Chain A
Amino acid sequence: MTPAEWTAILLSLRVAAVATLVATPLGVALAWLLARRDFWGKSLVDALVHLPLVLPPVVTGYLLLLTFGRRGLVGAWLADHLGIVFAFRWTGAALACGVMSFPLLVRPIRLSIEAVDQRLEQAAETLGATPWWVFLSVTLPLSLPGVFAGMVLGFAKAIGEFGATITFVSNIPGETQTISSAIYSLIQTPDGDIAALRLVAISVVIAVAALIGSEWFARRATRRLHGN
C-alpha cells in the first residue's frame, strides 16, 4: 500500500464519517416530521429528500457546484460571512456525500419512528412529558435500531459516492480524492490495475464491516429494548 493510497482511504473514512455525523441529527428531525406531523408541502419535502436517489449524480454535483461553489448563491455568502468554503475542499466532498446518502439515512429512521406505538407516546404525555421529552424518552430510544441502520447505510453510501463528489469538488489527491476517485484515476493510468485492485479490496472490506456492524448494533439495540 503506497502513502497515496492510504491518504485516499483515510480521507474517504473522514469524509463519510463527517457526512454521516452531521446528517444524522438532521435526518432524525426530518424523519420525525415526516412520520409524525402533517404540514403544508409535506410531499414536496419528501420528494426533495429522495431527489438525490433518482437524479443522475453528476446533476446533483453540478447543482451543488452552482449553489455552494465560490460564486454560488449560498457558497459566496458562507465564504464571505463565515469563512466556510466547500468548493474543491474535503468539506465539499463531505457535503456531496451527505446529500447523496441522505435519502438512505432518513428512510430506516422514518420507518422505525412510524413503528413506535403512539399509544406509548400518549401514556408519556398523561404522565407529564412535554412533546420534546416524549420524543427524547420514548420515541427516540424505541427507534434507535432504525437510527443505527440509517447511519450505517448512509455511511456505506457516502464511502462509495463518486459522481456528485467528483463533479462538485474534482479529484485532488490529499484534498478531495476519495477511494472511489482514486480507483477511477488508477484505472485511467497505465499499470494502475494492481493498485486499483488493492483499493477495491479495501472498499469491499469497509462495506462488509459496516454491514456486520449495523447488524450487530441493531440486534443489540432490539434486545435491550425488549429486555429479553
Chain B
Amino acid sequence: MLRVDIAKQLGEFSLEASFESEGRVTGLFGASGSGKTSLVNMIAGLLRPDRGTIAIDGETLDDVAAGIHIPAYRRRIGYVFQDARLFPHLDVTQNLDYGRRMNRLDDDPAQRKRVTDLLDIGHLLDRRPGKLSGGERQRVALGRALLSKPRLLLLDEPLGALDEGRRAEILPYLVRLRDEARIPMVYVSHDVAEMRQLATQIVLLQGGRVTALGGVKVLSN
C-alpha cells in the first residue's frame, strides 16, 4: 500500500497532495503542469517534499517532521521515465543487468528470460541504445526497471514520447505487465484511453491538488 501526504513549493507552483492507494495500478491522471511528475519524483526519492510523509507497505520513506528521507537508491522503487534514459555506453544486456548488480542481487537467468520474453527484447540484447527505435528503447527501460526487482514501479508517461503507432505497439506489453508481473504500479498519464485500459484506481490531479479519488469511472466526469 502506498500512502502519500505531502506539500512542496516549486517556484510559483504549490503542490499539495494526499492519497492512499491499494490498487494494482494507480493511475495518476491530470493535465500537463498539474504536478504529476513532481509527485512521482517525490515517491521515487529524487525530490524532497517540504513537509509531509510518504510510506509504502507501512515503511516510512519520507517524514519531514521526523527528519526521515530514504535516498532513492535505497527505496527499491523502479522508475520508467518518459525519455527511456538508457545508459548510452552500455549495451542492452548491461542496461538490463544494471539494477541487479547495483542491488547486489543474485543472477537470475530465469527471471531475465521471463522479462525479455514478456517484452520481446531478446533479439536486441547486444545492441547499444543508439541503435534502438523509440518503442524498443522504452521496452528495454521497462525491462531494466523490472529486473531491479522493485516493490513498486513508477511509470511517468512511458508512451508520451512515442507516436500513435508506437503507442499501440507498447500498450499491450503494459497490460501484460500489469497482469503477469505482480508489482504494484503508479501510472502517470493525461490520456483517458490509456488510463481506462490500465488503471485499477484513479488519483485525479488538478493544479497541484487532488480533486478526485476512486475507480476508473471518475474519469467520466
Interface residues of A (CB under 8 A from B): 117, 119-120, 122-131, 133, 137-138, 141-142, 224-228
Contact = CB atoms under 8 A, between A and B. Distances in A.
B102 A133 contact: yes
A226 B87 CA distance: 10
* 9 closest Cβ pairs, A-B complex: A227-B128, A127-B99, A128-B102, A123-B85, A126-B79, A128-B103, A125-B72, A129-B102, A225-B89
B138 interface: no
B117 to A, nearest CB: 21
A225 to B, nearest CB: 5
Contacts of B81: 119, 123
Contacts of B173: none
Given A125-B46, A127-B98, A228 B76 contact: no
A224 B91 CA distance: 11
A1 B102 CA distance: 55
A227 B88 contact: yes
B21 to A, nearest CB: 19
B88 A142 contact: yes
B89 A127 contact: no
B166 interface: no
B87 A126 contact: no
Interface residues of B, number: 31
B44 A141 contact: no
Contacts of A137: 87, 98, 102
B214 to A, nearest CB: 29
B166 to A, nearest CB: 20
A131 B78 CA distance: 17
Interface centre among A117, A122, A125, A127 (most CB of B within 10 A): A127
Contact of B72 (A126, A225, A226, A227): A126
B73 A129 contact: yes
B202 interface: no
Contact of B91 (A123, A133, A227): A227
B148 interface: yes
Given A126-B72, A226-B128, A120 B85 contact: yes
Contact of B89 (A128, A130, A133, A224): A224
B148 A127 contact: yes
A226 B88 CA distance: 6
B130 interface: yes
B44 A126 contact: yes
B85 A119 contact: yes
A138 B87 contact: yes
Contacts of A130: 73, 102
Nearest to A224: B89
Nearest to B144: A127
B46 A122 contact: yes
Interface in B181-199: none
